[in-house]
């Protein structure tokens, strides 16, 4: 696979049986650690995050001339990593 200047993954098209994730307003009060992310050259941008012993996915989109951030609910790290793998394989959005 040739390198095109992008080192982070790009999401594939959603599969026909793609799971729809629930997106909620972000909690900006807590400190988070971003542990994985998709390439910033394509929007929406997704980040796998950890905070307070739990993990979640953050989605950033550009709507109406401004950036809009949404997050999945917090869950155990193993569950969030499985959800991240599903996102990267086109099985979740």
Phi and psi at residue 85, to the nearest 5°: -60, -40
Report the candidate in 89, 69, 67, 82 with the shortest Cα–Cα distance to residue 9: 89
Q: How far apart are CA 53 and CA 63, in angstroms?
A: 31
Number of domains in the chain: 1
- Asked if the structure places residue 54 within a domain, the reply is yes
Q: How far apart are CA 92 and CA 11, in angstroms?
A: 10
pLDDT value of residue 5: 74
- Asked if the structure places residue 66 within a domain, the reply is yes
- Asked if the structure places residue 11 within a domain, the reply is no
Its domain, for residue 52, covers 35-88
- Asked if the structure places residue 84 within a domain, the reply is yes
Q: How far apart are CA 39 and CA 20, in angstroms?
A: 21
Q: What is the pLDDT along the chain (93 residues), one digit of tens a residue?
A: 455 677 788 887 788 888 999 999 998 778 999 999 999 888 899 999 999 899 999 999 998 899 999 999 999 999 999 999 999 999 898
């Amino acid at each position: 696979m040739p390198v095109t200047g992008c080192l982070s993954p790009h999401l594939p098209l959603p599969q026909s049986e793609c799971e729809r994730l629930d997106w909620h307003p972000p909690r900006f009060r807590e400190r988070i650690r971003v542990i994985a992310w998709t390439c910033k050259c394509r929007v929406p941008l997704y980040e796998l995050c950890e905070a307070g012993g739990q993990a979640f996915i953050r989605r950033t989109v550009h709507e109406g001339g401004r950036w809009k951030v949404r997050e999945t609910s917090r869950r155990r790290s193993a569950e969030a990593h499985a959800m991240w793998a599903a996102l990267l394989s086109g099985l979740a959005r």
